[in-house]
């Protein structure tokens, strides 16, 4: 395994190899990197034409680079360095200790290069201590398990992903039967993932340790992944997963043709009998096919190689890019037959038709009659039953049942709310009740509340005080004698408009029937309720009865309250379908027949009938119900 950096930096790792003579120039790695820019293509080429042909297409400089690398590899054979990559327990993840071994040779052009050997220490994670690029040494240990994972953590402050951008592997493709030096494939670490396969049949120049490995195992398949560590650890995690599942019989040799390869692949699977299962090291994902596994692993990366040339937005797949471009071009091939709507995908059209036309709602609530077009809507709805509020406001105790409500709520902590209430106002905001001045509307409102129930308007001519300015205005006229309201019929003048209105009704309105309040004991009539009350205390009758225009026994205000309450109850009953609209409409205009109202309202109806009784028509009630 080789690591190569760019921009003159090199981080060169070699599988199970060490050397005292290293003559690898950074620019050679740059060329390797160029090859790696199209790893999939390279992979395809190799799979199609074989490793040797792929090599033959390389430029002379690339060949030179490879020869150099080969020389390096040859040389390192002379001085083997101990390395350990010893998987043990099945499906167990190991953390390797990285130790550094410095080169002593003066010939090493990469002066900062150091050598890393890896020793397994289960559960222990040791960081690289010294800065600068180095060699990563891996040696496969006793092959005991079906799946083995090795995670190597390297502090990001020492080696950024950019510095380790290029990672060159041996055969990377599933079931690729060639894993010779010549079939090296480049995979960018920026892609975060790649496969390395070590297997039987290494060529002469293959690394010694690889030979050891091959001797012990006929096939080793590693999945190598890099990712940024979390914010706290600030490190790069290199995960090497040994995907070798079981020893295979009748395995084809490296020199077989493509047709043979496909056949052999089938044979392998057939021979194996059991299906391979690929487990994602990052999440719980498993896949039975390598292609699915690879595709899934891309979801853990930010790799989006497909660029929209119109807005420079990038996408993971060609399909996504194509859909996106359709948005630019307005190309919406899926048109609704029932309206003029059109969509990019067929799924959107189906959903649209369910919402607008077919009203098919496959997702039904088990607790009520609610049904929805989409599962997410049902999930959201169920929270209204469970009371679950998983979205907590970070600034107050409010929690919402969905993300949008929380977002909308957050506006009360800023945006609309803040601008209206808490924004600084250059103009002075004066208190309407005193001389206080504020520059924030919220502060003004809070201050003005302190004036509530305060008789802040005080007469300068007497001790009179009141709460409202309009009352003070009327009072002042008692001192000034001003009477601005004149009766158009008799020219009599009044200080208040309402006094003029009362005068007009009493003396100039022929239809006006004055309210008479009668004492329930003696029947004496009064024009004001307060006079009846005062009289009844002397008369000993207790409660006086209102006889407003002879239509009721309660005061108008009390009757209104009763009717309002009853109307509310009836309306609720009507909403529960206990009274149809048709039934209700037939009541209109009729004298109050309580028995015609919904049975559920019987109690309320009876009370109203008792307390309000005659003079109340259904129309009056219905107007209250449906106004």
Pick 107 or 375: Cβ nearer DNA: 375
Q: Which of 183, 186, 185 is nearest to 201 (CA)?
A: 183
CA-to-CA dists, residue 214 to 211, 406, 467, angstroms: 5, 59, 98
Q: Which residue do the tokens 């009274």 mark?
A: 579
Footprint of DNA on 485-504 (CB under 7 A): 495-498, 501
Binding-site member from 58, 218, 306, 324 for DNA (CB under 7 A): 324
Q: Report the distance separating Cα 118 and Cα 82, nearest Å.
A: 9
- Interface region with DNA, contact rule CB under 7 A, candidates 118-126, 139-147, 219-227, 461-469: 461-469
483 binds DNA (CB under 7 A): no
Footprint of DNA on 544-573 (CB under 7 A): 555-557, 560-561, 564
Pick 367 or 599: Cβ nearer DNA: 367
* DSSP code at position 420: I
Footprint of DNA on 402-441 (CB under 7 A): 402-405, 407-409, 411-412, 416-417, 420
Pick 121 or 346: Cβ nearer DNA: 346
303 binds DNA (CB under 7 A): no
Footprint of DNA on 83-112 (CB under 7 A): none
Dihedrals phi, psi of 99, to nearest 5 degrees? -120, 150
Pick 263 or 455: Cβ nearer DNA: 455
Maximum Cα interatomic distance, the chain, rounded to a whole number of Å:
130
Q: How far is the CB of 287 from DNA (least distance, A)?
A: 7
The SS3 assignment for 79 reads coil
Pick 445 or 599: Cβ nearer DNA: 445
384 binds DNA (CB under 7 A): yes
Count the Cβ atoms, other than its own, within 10 Å of residue 509. 11
Q: How far is the CB of 352 from DNA (least distance, A)?
A: 4
Footprint of DNA on 259-288 (CB under 7 A): 285
522 binds DNA (CB under 7 A): no
Footprint of DNA on 130-159 (CB under 7 A): none
- 437-438 and 457-458 as β-strands: parallel, antiparallel, unpaired? unpaired
216 binds DNA (CB under 7 A): no
End-to-end CA distance of the chain: 82
- ∠ CA(51), CA(56), CA(58), 5° rounding? 105
Binding-site member from 124, 327, 490, 599 for DNA (CB under 7 A): 327
CA-to-CA dists, residue 393 to 24, 100, 397, 418, angstroms: 57, 49, 6, 16
Q: Report the distance separating Cα 366 and Cα 381, nearest Å.
A: 11
Q: Report the distance separating Cα 6 and Cα 30, nearest Å.
A: 6
258-272 helix and 39-49 helix, angle to the nearest 10 degrees = 90
Q: How far is the CB of 295 from DNA (least distance, A)?
A: 6
Binding-site member from 380, 483, 545, 609 for DNA (CB under 7 A): 380
Count of CA atoms in the C-beta half-sphere (13 A) of 625:
22
311 binds DNA (CB under 7 A): no
Query: Which residues are CB-contacts of 148 (< 8 A; sequence separation ≥ 6)?
Result: 87, 88, 90, 91, 92, 94, 241, 242, 244
Pick 229 or 556: Cβ nearer DNA: 556
- Interface region with DNA, contact rule CB under 7 A, candidates 1-9, 143-151, 230-238, 290-298: 290-298
450 binds DNA (CB under 7 A): no
Site string for DNA, 335-374 (x = CB under 7 A): ------x-xxxxxx-xxx--xx-------------x-xxx
Q: How far is the CB of 484 from DNA (least distance, A)?
A: 12
The SS3 assignment for 358 reads helix
Pick 71 or 474: Cβ nearer DNA: 474
Pick 119 or 323: Cβ nearer DNA: 323
Binding-site member from 145, 267, 448, 520 for DNA (CB under 7 A): 448
């Amino acid at each position: 395994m080789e690591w190569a950096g760019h921009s003159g930096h090199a981080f060169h790792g070699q599988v199970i190899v060490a050397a005292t003579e290293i003559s690898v120039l950074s620019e050679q790695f740059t060329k390797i990197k160029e090859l790696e820019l199209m790893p999939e293509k390279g992979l395809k080429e190799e799979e199609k034409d074989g490793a040797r042909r792929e090599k033959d297409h390389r430029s002379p400089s690339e060949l030179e680079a490879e020869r150099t690398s080969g020389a390096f590899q040859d040389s390192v054979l002379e001085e083997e360095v101990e390395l350990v990559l010893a998987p043990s327990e099945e499906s167990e993840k190991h953390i390797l200790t990285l130790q550094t071994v410095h080169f002593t040779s003066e010939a090493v052009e990469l002066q900062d290069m150091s050598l890393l050997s890896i020793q397994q220490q289960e559960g222990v994670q040791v960081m690289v201590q010294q800065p600068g690029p180095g060699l990563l040494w891996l040696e496969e240990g006793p092959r005991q398990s079906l799946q083995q994972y090795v995670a190597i953590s390297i502090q990001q402050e020492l080696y950024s992903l950019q510095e380790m951008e290029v990672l060159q592997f041996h055969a990377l493709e599933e079931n690729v039967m060639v894993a010779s030096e010549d079939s090296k494939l480049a995979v960018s670490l920026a892609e975060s993932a790649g496969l390395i396969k070590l297997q039987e049949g290494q060529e002469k120049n293959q690394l010694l340790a690889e030979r050891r490995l091959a001797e012990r195992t006929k096939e080793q398949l590693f999945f190598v992944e890099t990712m940024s560590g979390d914010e706290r650890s600030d490190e790069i995690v290199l995960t090497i997963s040994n995907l070798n599942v079981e020893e295979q019989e009748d395995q084809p040799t490296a020199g077989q043709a493509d047709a043979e390869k496909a056949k052999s692949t089938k044979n392998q699977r057939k021979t194996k009998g059991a299906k391979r299962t690929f487990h994602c090291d990052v999440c719980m994902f498993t896949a039975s096919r390598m292609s699915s596994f690879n595709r899934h692993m891309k979801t853990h990366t930010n790799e989006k190689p497909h660029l929209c040339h119109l807005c420079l937005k990038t996408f993971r797949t060609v399909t996504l890019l194509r859909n996106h471009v359709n948005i630019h071009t307005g190309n919406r091939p899926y048109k609704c037959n029932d309206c003029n709507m059109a969509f990019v995908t067929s799924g959107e059209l189906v959903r649209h038709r369910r919402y607008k036309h077919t009203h098919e709602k496959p997702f039904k609530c088990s607790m009520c009659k609610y049904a929805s077009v989409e599962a997410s809507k049902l999930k959201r709805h169920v929270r209204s039953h469970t009371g679950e509020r998983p979205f907590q406001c970070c600034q107050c105790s409010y929690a919402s049942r969905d993300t949008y409500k929380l977002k909308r709520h957050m506006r009360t902590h800023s945006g609309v709310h803040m601008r209206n209430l808490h924004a600084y106002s250059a103009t002075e905001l004066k208190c309407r009740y005193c001389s206080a001045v504020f520059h924030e509307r919220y502060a003004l409102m809070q201050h003005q509340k302190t004036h509530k129930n305060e008789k802040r308007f005080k007469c300068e001519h007497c001790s009179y005080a009141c709460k409202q300015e309009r009352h003070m205005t009327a009072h002042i006229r008692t001192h000034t004698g001003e009477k601005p309201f004149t009766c158009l019929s008799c020219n009599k003048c009044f200080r208040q408009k309402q006094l003029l209105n009362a005068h007009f009704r009493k003396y100039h309105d022929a239809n006006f029937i004055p309210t008479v309040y009668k004492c329930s004991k003696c029947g004496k009539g009064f024009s004001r309720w307060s006079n009846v009350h005062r009289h009844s205390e002397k008369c000993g009758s207790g409660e006086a009865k209102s006889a407003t225009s002879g239509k009721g026994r309660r005061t108008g205000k009390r009757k209104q309250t009763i009717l309002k309450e009853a109307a509310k109850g009836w309306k609720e009953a009507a909403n529960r379908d206990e009274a149809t609209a048709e039934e209700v409409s037939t009541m209109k205009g009729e004298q109050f027949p309580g028995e015609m109202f919904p049975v559920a309202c019987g109690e309320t109806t009876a009370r109203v009938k008792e307390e309000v009784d005659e003079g109340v028509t259904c129309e009056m009630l219905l107007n209250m119900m449906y106004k």
